Amino acid sequence: MIIKPRIYKRAVLQTMFFIATAVALPAFAQQKSEDPLLKIYRGSAEKINDLIHTKLDVKFDYKKRYLYGKEWVTIKPHIYATDSLRLDAKGMDIKTVAVVRNGRNIPLKYTYDNLSLAIKLDKVYQSTENYTIYIDYTAKPDELKLEAGAAITDAKGLYFINPDSTEKGKPVQIWTQGELESSSAWFPTIDRTNQKTTDEISMTVPAKYVTLSNGRLASQKKNADGTRTDTWKMELPHSPYLFMMAVGDFKIYRDKWRDKEVSYYLEPAYAPYAKEIFSFTPEVMEFYSKILGVDYPWNKYAQIVVRDYVSGAMENTTATLHGAYVQGTARELADRYYDKGRSTIVHELFHQWFGDYVTAESWSNLTVNESFADFSETLWAEHKYGQDTGDEHNNEALETYLEDPANATKDLVRFHYHAAQDMFDDVSYKKGGRILNMLRNYLTPTVFF
């Protein structure tokens, strides 16, 4: 993920505040160490059950901002036999929970506290036995509230943009944002980075719209009521936070890397510039495949640009989602060199290896995702624009890290933090990226890679 630039600005303001109040530092530090949330050891999530396959059939209610979902999730006990299953499911109406046996749904007992679904299975399952749970549910992301009553608007997982067409000239879109643990706001799952599952998502949408999800578009079916059902299949396992859906009026520009499809989804107004914005993508895929010694591992690579995105960009497996910052007209793009837009495109692409193919087992280990993606920006700068541009990018990142003295107090891998999103900081990104760059120089590139 790349965090929105305005968050960095806020960080700078916090730094200024920090410097201004440096005299009061001992009291501030003491207060911080008393934060009870900092006392919690944030290890990897316990594995009781493993996700195997997730099949979803969803349709959208634009008026109510609801998702009507049917899910068939295949699971097995991780190692110990168990007769229970807990799924994360945020702010949903749960209508049916059943186990599928010989094609029939056998209802199961469950309790639901608006955040997680505790299911009593029909028997004790061994770790060698897969079973499939069927869930009929409604996701209501706009009504999602924490128990304390605070709306977690930045973590609602599923976003309806201008759903009533009340804002003139603004497109109607639906898109999702799974990281950190918000996919469970639109489908029940074990919403942890140390889970991986294959998936299949069928989306029924107004026929005039285009859809995008992970993996390949397996089928499209026109329905009598003016809708169309698109089914996307993801045949290699990935973590739930990397699931994605997007629906709207997008023009698709198709490109290619070796024999794989590379595509760019843009609003019609920006479609003429698709080539200028994104067409260096296959060249970067080739460079990263060679330098890593592992070819791009997925079956396609799509990039989509959406409205009102809540962060900078997100590396959903095979389907990166960008905020509108990446767009530009021919005139604007002519002035671009190795700017924020281009470094983000290569950053999200590198995540397809570090983040998506290999995944941090917990947020404490976020360095596996973000330090490597940050470092990849320097690699590409150096390869494409030369040593000076690589060094400049490296130095800018170092300076950003040094700007905030609080950064020096944090370990790269941290098992104590206030909230998981605190891990998405200049230590996980900038410091980690610089450490990798140092290691490359220290070991020599041959040994490092």
**1 in contact with Zn ion (CB under 5 A):** yes
Q: What part of residues 349-378 is at the interface with Zn ion (CB under 5 A)?
A: 370, 373
Beta carbon of residue 83, minimum distance to Zn ion (angstroms, whole number): 39
Q: What part of residues 22-41 is at the interface with Zn ion (CB under 5 A)?
A: none
Closer residue to Zn ion in complex, CB, 199/374? 374
Closer residue to Zn ion in complex, CB, 229/369? 369
**284 in contact with Zn ion (CB under 5 A):** no
Closer residue to Zn ion in complex, CB, 1/423? 1
With CA atoms as reference, report the closest residue to 321 among 332, 329, 330, 310: 310
Beta carbon of residue 242, minimum distance to Zn ion (angstroms, whole number): 12
Beta carbon of residue 2, minimum distance to Zn ion (angstroms, whole number): 5
**436 in contact with Zn ion (CB under 5 A):** no
Beta carbon of residue 19, minimum distance to Zn ion (angstroms, whole number): 28
Closer residue to Zn ion in complex, CB, 209/301? 301
**144 in contact with Zn ion (CB under 5 A):** no
Q: Which residues of 223-243 are buried (b: 16+ CB within 10 A; e: fewer)?
A: eeeebbbbbbbbebbbbbbbb
> Rounded CA gap, 332 and 273, in Å?
10
Beta carbon of residue 1, minimum distance to Zn ion (angstroms, whole number): 4
Q: Tell how strand 216-222 and strand 251-257 pair up.
A: unpaired
> Rounded CA gap, 104 and 102, in Å?
6
Q: How many helices (H) and strands (E) does the chain have?
A: 10, 20
DSSP state of 45: P
Beta carbon of residue 351, minimum distance to Zn ion (angstroms, whole number): 6
DSSP state of 214: S
Closer residue to Zn ion in complex, CB, 212/373? 373
Total residues interacting with Zn ion, rule: CB under 5 A: 3
Widest pairwise Cα distance in the chain: 70
SS3 content of the chain, % helix, strand, coil (to 5): 35, 35, 35
**321 in contact with Zn ion (CB under 5 A):** no
Q: Under the rule (CB under 5 A), what is the footprint of Zn ion?
A: 1, 370, 373
